[in-house]
Amino acid sequence: MPTVKERVQRGANQVREIIGRTAVAVVRTLRLTGATLAIDTTTPDYQWWDMFRRGKQRGFELAALLARPIVEVLASWVIGSEIKIQLAQAGDPDNENDPYTYTNRALSKLTKRVHTNLLNMVMDLYHLGDQYVIVNADGSFSLPSPDTVEVVRDELDYRQILAYKIVTKLEKVTVTDSYTAETRTVEIKWHDTRPTQTYVYDNLIGAIPVVHFPNDASGNETNGRPIYEPMYRWFSRYDDLLEKALDGAEFLSDPIPTWEGMKDVDETILANTVATGQQGVDDSGDLVAERKVDWQQQRAVFVGEGGSFKFTSPGTGFTSDIRAMLKVLFLLMLEFTRIPEAIWGGELSSARATAGEQMKTFFMYIEMRRTALEGVSRDAELGVEATGGLQQLFDIWLRTRALVDKRIVVDTLNITWSKLGTMDKELQMKWTQWAYSAGLVTDATALGQAELVEDAKQEVEKARAETNSRQQAEDPFGFDAAQNALTPENEPLEDAA
């Protein structure tokens, strides 16, 4: 652990580095008003938002049903079908002993295995605002609940993280894992009379094996926020309208019995009701026997002199107004989430943009989301380590794996995402046929465009070998080849002499 003097000196250097940034302007406000902090440590209410996304938060039971699709759509598009993470420096693909080739193959296997983990991580990130990923000693990933994670920061620079503590409370024991750049400490505290157990392990990679993913965090915020947090008021009003619409529809579904024009109302009530056996209080405060209409047993209705009976219901019309307002709110949600209406299954009118035009904007939004997840890659020449996001996560994995596998290379990584939009398939195949017939692309490239096999180059080599083997079996002595070589147009010219 660094000494106090070293931390003070490091803090002084970092203060000089942030001159001209927002933090310095806020510090100046601190000096003048003494009321504003240079750091925003606001933490989302993880339990509230977790109940919300499951439709169990009181007052948001109906509107919150849209929360899950919003996150699932965005997360599935952001993560895509695959993520390709490889070393920036390519190795020799034909040399299995090349360390870069070996490392890239290991990364390829890893990304396929943890694809579901990454998808779940992004969904929790968007739902709750924060998520943490732990790289275990065996190279696996763990996703702790964010409300179990405590972050220990440098007192002089909140951006410098000294440790992560993950507190897991079970029925009979509380386990606290403390991760620093030097050690991992496991404290097991039993809830009975057994003594507390503490185990300390050396951290051999020199970096904290925990990566924090904050969603939509500003420059001086230590935590993120749920992706739909600004829609809190929207969800509230949307839920209110849905509840009112359902209440109104339920009310209108039951016709109201109506007596009209009767001279003696009490006589009619007495003729059409039965005693309940209970007592109530009338308008004068006197106890009277309660009576009610038993519609299940009622076979006839008795109407007094001059009266009539019918079933009526309130006038309709309010439901169309509510539906119109719900539609406006729905469009507002589309504007905020950038999810095109076509993805929700809505039909687009001719007066509005086509699905194709909407998807272009949506793709740009997804690209922005992907960039936010990437983080900053390491650069050995500049002496910069990987910071944040997937870059830091997989850099830590390489360091961890390199402890037990010396063939692993720890170097700069490139992240390639799956394509968001593709050319029309029929048009793409026509372009491929033209380029191949003109000799502008290789066999492997042409086959790769068809997306029929995983490794087009390897498939072409196998196909050629199989073709040669079949031809050899059919014509072992090469007569056909010799005959083709002695055709008239290929025969050598006789010597003029």
Joined tokens for residue 477: 């002595």
Query: Do 296 and 395 have their domain in common?
Result: no
CA distance to 181, 322, 340, 409, per residue, from 201 (Å): 11, 62, 50, 24
Contact between residue 94 and residue 87 where contact means Cβ atoms under 8 Å apart: no
Classify residue 169: in a domain, yes or no: no
Query: Do 287 and 375 have their domain in common?
Result: no
- Nearest 5°: phi and psi at 350? -70, -20
Query: Do 404 and 337 have their domain in common?
Result: yes
Query: Do 281 and 398 have their domain in common?
Result: no
Query: Do 330 and 341 have their domain in common?
Result: yes
- Nearest 5°: phi and psi at 479? -65, -40
Asked whether the CA dihedral 264, 265, 270, 272 is positive or negative, the reply is positive
Which among 421, 449, 464 is the end of a domain? 421
Coil, strand, or helix at residue 216? coil
Looking at the structure of the chain, the number of domains it has is 4
Q: What residues have CB less than 8 Å from 437, skipping those under 6 apart?
A: none
| Per-residue confidence (pLDDT) for residue 28, from 0 to 100 | 36
Classify residue 281: in a domain, yes or no: yes
Query: Do 344 and 400 have their domain in common?
Result: yes
Cα–Cα distance measured from residue 356 to residue 421, given in angstroms and rounded to the nearest whole number: 10
Query: Do 260 and 386 have their domain in common?
Result: no
CA distance to 24, 210, 405, 411, per residue, from 398 (Å): 36, 14, 10, 9
Q: In terms of Cα–Cα distance, which of 198, 163, 220 is closest to 24?
A: 220
| Per-residue confidence (pLDDT) for residue 1, from 0 to 100 | 52
Classify residue 486: in a domain, yes or no: no
Joined tokens for residue 27: 């510090």
**pLDDT tens-digit profile, the chain (497 residues):** 555 445 444 444 444 333 333 333 333 333 444 446 678 888 999 999 999 999 899 999 888 888 888 899 999 999 998 899 999 888 888 887 889 999 999 999 999 999 999 999 999 999 999 999 999 999 999 999 999 999 999 988 888 999 999 999 999 999 999 999 999 999 999 999 999 999 999 999 989 999 999 999 988 889 999 999 988 998 898 888 888 877 777 776 667 777 777 777 777 777 777 777 788 777 777 787 787 776 666 666 767 677 777 766 666 666 676 677 777 777 777 766 667 776 665 555 544 456 666 777 788 889 999 999 999 998 877 888 889 999 999 999 999 999 999 999 999 999 999 888 654 566 567 667 777 777 777 887 877 777 677 677 777 788 888 888 777 777 666 555 555 555 555 555 454 44
Joined tokens for residue 220: 């001086």
Cα–Cα distance measured from residue 173 to residue 82, given in angstroms and rounded to the nearest whole number: 39
| Per-residue confidence (pLDDT) for residue 21, from 0 to 100 | 34
Q: What is the largest CA-CA distance in the chain?
A: 146
Q: Where is 14: in which H helix or E strand?
A: helix 4-17
Four-point Cα dihedral 362, 364, 365, 366, nearest 10? 90
Query: Do 237 and 354 have their domain in common?
Result: yes
Classify residue 369: in a domain, yes or no: yes
| Per-residue confidence (pLDDT) for residue 19, from 0 to 100 | 35
**What is the extent of the structural domain holding 285?**
255-312
Query: Do 124 and 60 have their domain in common?
Result: yes
Contact between residue 353 and residue 361 where contact means Cβ atoms under 8 Å apart: no
Query: Do 78 and 225 have their domain in common?
Result: yes
| Per-residue confidence (pLDDT) for residue 472, from 0 to 100 | 74
| Per-residue confidence (pLDDT) for residue 25, from 0 to 100 | 36
Query: Do 353 and 379 have their domain in common?
Result: yes
HSE-CB at 98 with a 13 A cutoff on CA atoms is: 13
Which among 281, 312, 343 is the end of a domain? 312
